[in-house]
Amino acid sequence: MLSRLKNLVPTTPKSSALKGQTILALDIGTTNVKAVMVEIADSRISVIGVGRQEQDLADMAAGAIADIQAVVANCNKALSAAEEQAGLRAERVVIGIAGELIKGITDTVTIDRPEATKPISEPEFDEFVKEAQSRAHGQAKHEVTLELSGRSTELRLINSALVSVEVDGYKVTNPIGFQGSTADVQLYTAFAPLVHIGAIEQVAGHLDLDILAVAAEPFAVARAIIGDDPSVSKNAILIDIGGGTTDIAVVRDGGLEGTRMFGIGGRAFTNSIARDMNVSFDQAEFKKITLSEDVSGDETSDIEAALKKTLEVWIQGVQLALSEFDWLDYLPHQIMLCGGGSGLELLQEKLAGETWQKDLPFSKMVQVRTIDVRDVRDTRDRTDSVRDHTMITVLGLARVAADTVSMQPDGSQIVEKISKVVKK
């Protein structure tokens, strides 16, 4: 176990009241580890400590941990900085997970009820949800097996969120107590390969942290934007462009419709510059992030030409991901970006263009902008350190932490989940 800061006050123990709990949100990204200590009280989040540590090129692969020991060392540095600023020692953590093999499935299960006049009970509805999760697990396993050329892999459920519930065709926000002959349950579920979960558990163990939850990162971003207000009716496509992957979440009427991921991120753009201009990765990264600054006209053209090659492949990935939401009659026209790769002006211009949109069910031309920290609901920053779109994912993980600690301690959580994530 790596040494961490001494003489820090421990967080609130598990058996204490839910108010004022201190939890760590940890975003293990391809390019950077971000650690945020938050205090949660009445579903409101206060940021009290922030740390960040850059990762080496070989530490991560396509959004997943490739070198456990190196990632532990990076997390330890970020964590120690957050703890020092907060003046507290972290004990519990919510960790984000990304990668092409993270599968977010949205499925509708129709349940025929033999006793239509009997009110739906919480145990009965719990069984509905389990049935939907089981079906989604089979679909996710099939997709992953195809992507791995027939090799089977063990998957674990990491997130589950209700999208909508109908009883005899009547949409309800809480089905408990309703009577009816059929119940249609639409559920979002996310699954991750056991090997990825195991690596995260190893990291947490080395850091002496108790895992409160593991969250698919696009799910976390959606939770950051939706927040805890049942009156929110947000419609947006959320795109998190990290170093190794692009994660997409579609939100309609304040509910999460689903998520998709593909393995092109900011490093792919940097690699295209390095390859075409015959420079090192670090030099290419510098050229990419300073593209709009003082560079010669000829060099600007060369950089843009290299970026546009990868950009064409990236936009095709976005098209394909959004085309898979084929149960939606329309897609939200607002596109909100976060992650380090989202600051690339050429990328934003490409998204705002007409060509790639024409075969998708947009009701109007898309509007593109980066997510501002002020878009994250019920969260305040006491450190004045969380300032831009690169921190949105880790704030979303903090929202998942708030969701998790608000669940009822006796394990009866279905109604609580409905109140947090179902469409209103």
pLDDT for res 163: 82
384: tokens are 């004045």
- Closest by alpha carbon to 259, among 247, 273, 242, 271? 247
129 and 160 Cβ atoms separated by less than 8 Å: yes
356, exposed or middle or buried, with CB in 10 Å at 0-12, 13-18, 19+?
middle
Distance in angstroms (rounded) separating the CA atoms of residues 60 and 75: 13
Crossing angle (nearest 10°) for helices 297-323 and 345-352:
50
pLDDT at 231: 63
**Residue-by-residue DSSP string for 234-281:** --EEEEEE-SS-EEEEEEETTEEEEEEEES--HHHHHHHHHHHHT--H
Q: Going residue by residue through the chain (424 aa), what tens digit of pLDDT does each one get?
A: 444 433 343 333 333 333 468 999 999 999 999 999 999 988 789 999 999 999 999 999 888 999 999 999 999 999 999 999 999 999 999 999 988 888 988 888 898 999 999 999 999 999 888 888 898 899 899 988 888 888 888 999 999 888 889 999 999 988 999 999 999 988 889 999 999 999 999 999 999 999 999 999 999 999 999 887 666 678 999 999 999 999 999 998 888 888 999 999 999 999 999 999 999 999 999 999 888 665 666 788 899 999 999 999 999 999 999 999 998 999 999 999 999 999 899 999 999 998 999 899 998 999 999 999 999 988 999 999 998 999 999 999 999 999 888 764 444 444 444 444 443 3
Contact 79, 93 (CB under 8 A): no
pLDDT at 32: 95
Residue 54, H or E segment? strand 44-54
User: Tell me, what's the pLDDT at 107?
Assistant: 84
Whole-number Å distance between alpha carbons of 46 and 49: 9
pLDDT of residue 72: 97
State the pLDDT at residue 3: 44
CA distances from 403 to 40, 42, 50, 154, 318 (A): 10, 10, 21, 26, 29
**What is the CB-side half-sphere exposure of residue 421 using CA atoms within 13 A?**
30
Cα distances (Å, whole numbers) of residue 246 to 141, 292, 302, 345: 21, 23, 24, 16
Alpha-carbon span 148 to 54, nearest angstrom: 30
Long-range contacts (CB closer than 8 Å, 24 or more residues apart) made by 290-293: 291/344, 291/345, 292/345
Element (DSSP H or E) covering residue 34: strand 32-41
Q: Is the pTM of this model over 0.85?
A: yes
For 16, other C-beta atoms within 10 Å of its C-beta total 10
Q: What's the CA gap between 411 and 408, in Å, rounded?
A: 6
Residues 189, 139 contacting (CB under 8 angstroms): no
Instruction: Give me the pLDDT at residue 296, please.
Output: 63
Please give the pLDDT value at position 325: 93
Task: Say how many C-beta atoms besides its own lie within 10 A of residue 210's C-beta.
Answer: 14
